[in-house]
Structure 1
Amino acid sequence: MSLSSPRSRWRTLAALLAICSIALMSFLPASALAQTSTPPGGHAQVIAQGVDLMPRVPVAWRVTASEATPLDEAGFFDRTLGFAVGDGDSFLITDGESEALTLLHDGQASFHPEGASERRSSTSETPVYYLNIELIVADAVDTNESLGGSTLIFAGDDFEAPRGHRDLPLVRDVLATSEEHQIAGSGDAPSLLFVAAGALQVTDADGDVTELETGDAIDVSGGVELLAGADDGAAWLLASIGDEVELPDSAPATSDPDAGTGDLELRLEACPDNLDADCTPVTNRDVTVPAFHLVEDEDNWIIPDRADLSDDDTVLTYDDLPAGDYVTMPDDEAVPGVTIDGAEWDDDLEGWTFEVEADETTVLTLRVIVDERGDTGSLLVTLYDCPAGSDPENDPSPCELNTEPWDVSVANIGQSETTEWTLASDALDLGDSQYWFELLTATSLTFYPDGAREVGTSDVVVTGDPYVLGNLWTIDIPYHGAAEVTLYRVQPGDEPAESGSLFFAELTCPAETDGSDLSPCQNAGEPWDILFENVDTGETWSTFADADAEMDGQYVFPALPAGTYLMYGANPSDDGLAYFTGDVNLDGELPSVTISSGGEHVFYVHLVPPGGSDAPDAPVGGTGSLVIYQADCPYGVDPSVDTSACATSVDPWEVTVTNNETGDSWSLLFEGVAYDTGTYVLEALPAGSYSISVGSNENWALYYPSTTDVSADDETYVTVYSMDLRVP
């Protein structure tokens, strides 16, 4: 079996591991509509929703267009609160923490909380474009720094978000030509209305009319009436802030639930000579405001974003803190020139400590001496040039000191203004490709390694103190100290021509599995090390030491020298059995794989250990098959009344079935087998009850059962009817 592209690689892997999950789509029967704080009316459908804590600063809705690059080019980035929406070809979302996969097709969506680390990649070798609907801090709604490589489509007006953890639903609907629909606003905050296709007339409560075309968006408050276009109808999306969600444990787990809550007022001041004279208020952008936590609960940090700002941003107020003793972010020692009146320095805890009493307001004053350096620090930057194909992060030896410096800068992005320092204008040239920034604000600054506004869009490799926050590089400038960064610019060019890539996955199988049916095998929870030896050079590569781990049991060598490799340890058990599929040669004593120049190679090893494995055995209740027939109906034909005019679908709809007991999902696209045109089967499903969801298209309405039962050793039949909405 030869797989020639990342698309086929991932489709096969998904079929083997059954780990893709698909978002729910429109056109489900009314009984299957999700319940939200503001239920959609008519045939509108909630296609994604989640809960997150609302910011305490003004926010705004926005819509952006982004690019999902091929898997080998895509990286993990922290995301802004909101939704990712399919707008054409499919793309894959990988959660950086759980490694869960979500495949989004056209019109499907997924929710991501603020700061979620996600990789978004196309399922082919070409980029895929998709939409973001985001709720973002108002001052950053249209900045280049927050947009990165995305294109701004719509920026809404700023507003104060309601307090607390809120339900955020995304509703989608498709209206036929001249069809009307009413939206009841959430009441607490504006919603975002976006026209995905067609035309839409929006009438608000005052009778004002707004005409929208494809790609247009507006903020809507209160109830509005919608009228779809007379030619093509309309498909629209509505993002809203819903009801407050009461969390089970809103207070930190180690706080005393009977202790009550209190408030904290933190005042900010700058002093010219000493901490006792002529101090004046300063803003939260001029000094570094520390985070803090309950002494007995170091896992729940209270950050400055949690506070309300007042008095021209010189006072931070934290409401409803659990009563108790608090300590600030640790430092090695108390810093001269910084004090917090009302708090005490604790050498053991390495931080300032203070108490919040129940039903009281604790007042603290953070004072900083602003001498000739002010509340500032420094940054040392070293530049190197590297040849094409080199990997300076792991081996910088081929690189040389740079001779022509490029554009490097840092910026302090404030709520009302931004200050930027550049290598050319603000840094001292120390010689030997080293540059010194001084008098930088001692806080977290945005870092641009070569002028690029988004991580992953530069050919510069960053090492040292910078880290990724959102889709931007960030660096913390220490108070009266220095941060360091080393940058390597890799010259453009391909990997060495005499190399190719190797992707492989290790799977474990239930007892008594044989090579005729490997479908019960699953990705290895405890992977093993396979050693690859080049038969010509004798060089070896270790899975654990040299390969990039993609997920548990999945690895990739991005650039192995072309040649044939023997595999040692592919079967880690003397008594177990190993079955191979993919680009593996089994003619010799040891399995081998041949890497071609520029080729992409894939194989899978399925291990059946002696006495069984950690992989689950066949379901206790047995398995059955689900046969799905798909038929298209012409315009005006209601398949719930008469199906005689409906004909077999030539192009299959994407169908996903989910076991209601285990939550496991199967995709017709990835795991279905075609019986005949329009007829497909999902085999070996554990007996039980299943939910069904079907992908959508704005030109078709879908009719199908929302649930079905699969019986052991039997075939269950389901029909999906699609009705053409296009007027002949």
Structure 2
Amino acid sequence: MSSIRSRWRALAALLAVCSLALMSFVPAQTLAQSSTAPGGHAQVIAQGVDLMPRVPVAWRITASEAAPLDEGEFFDRTLGFAVGEGDPFLVTDGESEALTLLLEGQASFHPEGASERRSSTDDSAVDYLNIELIVADAVDTDESLGSSSLVFAGDEFEAPRGYRDLRLTRDVLAPSEEHELAGSGDAPSLLFVTAGALQVADADGDVTELGSGDALQVTGDAELLAGADDGATWLLASIGDEVELPEAAPAATSDPDAETGTLELRLEACPDSLDADCTPVTNRDVTVPAFHLVEDEDNWIIPDRADLSDDDTVLTYDNLPAGDYVTMPDNEAVPGVTIDGATWDNDLDGWTFEVEADETTVLTLRVIVDDRGDTGSLLVTLYDCPAGSDPENDPSSCELNAEPWDVSVANIGQTETTEWTLASDALDLGDSQYWFELLPATSLTFYPDGAREVGTSDVVVTGDPYVLGNLWTIDIPYHGAGEAMLYHVEPGEEPADTGSLFFAELICPAGTDGSDLSPCQNAGEPWDILFENVDTGETYSAFADAEPEMQGQFSFPALPAGTYTMYGANPSDDGLVYLDGDVETGGDWPTVTISGGGEHILYVYFVPPGGSDVPDAPAGGTGSLVIYQSDCPYGVDPSVDTSACATSVDPWEVTVTNDATGNSWSLLFEGVAYDTGTYVLEALPAGSYSISVGSNENWALYYPSTTDVSADDETYVTIYSVDLRAP
């Protein structure tokens, strides 16, 4: 059913263009941006509690790709939500191994640092969205984005202190329906429109127009007005009330059973002596060393992972595994450096310190700059890319490297050449990241894969390196860190591009002339349509090659890119056909052009000779019935409180029967899905209707047994299903 919904989401948007314009008389609803239950038909689709960062933060939205089923890897995640926007994908928790399947319109919460794998359910990749609350300085950095692409970056703000309830709310508004947001006052929220159009008026009366894919940071009260044509589907990420934890509860971490503590590292610079006249300095003025557990040399912790405070002179590392640590494993740095609170260990050639469970260890790093010299660091990340990819412009198809290759930097402008290699001199941070520490703060020659000249390498270089003459060069910042992202592209020709085509066949009543196609219905007996590639001559049949969807609907998930001639759209010599969607009709035959990676939609409206079995529009007019389906957990009474209920994933068998004529309509075969859990029966004759829903022994159903449909109007009905299985 998931593929049906993803196709129908796009279908509903285009059908609205062909349907009668319907005004909504649903009263405006109010939604508070706090931890209270949302009002109206808005639903909380994901929520969780985590400790808020103590540095400026920002909302952001990124687009990511879940790897094919057998290729997904675990990565540490940024605080926020993963949101389905198409085909389903699977979220696997790295610690508990719990599995969550997310379909379009569904979401899951993950705390800061949670290790998760996100993969599709088959051998193809799946697109999805992230809505995240991230440290403001990292909101648009390449390191924090990784292979994801930035959709929206909000303004920075101070997060409220303590453990907070983060919620992601979703709602579907009918055309011209209104909604009110009541601001929480603690922090701004993020409003994101996933479909349709939305007008947002803030407390000052300023109005912002948002279309599908647009986002807005909302502070305080706001009034929403859905578009008159397609309505609107939106998401709201918000920071709610503070949550009091049980006494001695551990901080949020990817391993809830691990004992953790905190390290507070203070930075000071000293002009002549390590014992006097030292003053606080920022992390940009000194090189902050990496460190690791004494018993775990493979997992280095770099300063980029710390929170900054006190004007960037204090670094705080939260949720460190309790144990003994070592840092600064370089004897040359010792004469000009000391770390108060740590002990020098000759056997380990470094400073050692202990992080105790549920305690804060305070260290002070003091540096005599003249003794220590001018040094900096370099972070290198390696990726593998398929043949034909262009990672410089679109790295989304690349994955973190599995086997590192030869990367080095060299100082060749001096009397003797010094070279630092990935294998011998860099710290392996995991996740294909490597850290060169205490490099001279000067321009160094950069060798991305051992090749000495630009143009002789198969590796694409992005980040700080630049071309000087015929060599790659990188400037190591004084007591700072440079960054390079390296992409190894597999040799070979680019694979053939493919795109998808979804098309629906509809039958129309007599007299349909194309100006109003709303009475047309899904074809009960579909016919075969052929698509011939004009370049290769290969022909694809709806019956033989396409995947059947709902009645009268088909999809080609991967047609080779190109132009196709369409045959058989009119199954009768005397019938009349109207075409809509991604189709050209100027030639002898209609054509459809498939673009690489594109999603294409086509609608075929057939008026048989002499009319069809579809009745003419009734004299009393027609209206629409919008049915929203919601699942509730065990023990919930939806007549009292629906805050714990969530959008249904799979539709129920719903049948509506006209009380006057006895004619019936099935939601599964004749309904249009606006979005997951929201379905519409179009062009119902105005009148009274009886509603029946298929039963299931595991669920109790709550819904009105009758409803009225008015001409040129939309009627709303909600079906609540309560799980009878005790947890």
* TM-score range normalised by the length of the shorter chain: 0.3 to 0.5
Please report the TM-score for the alignment, with normalisation by the length of structure 1: 0.47
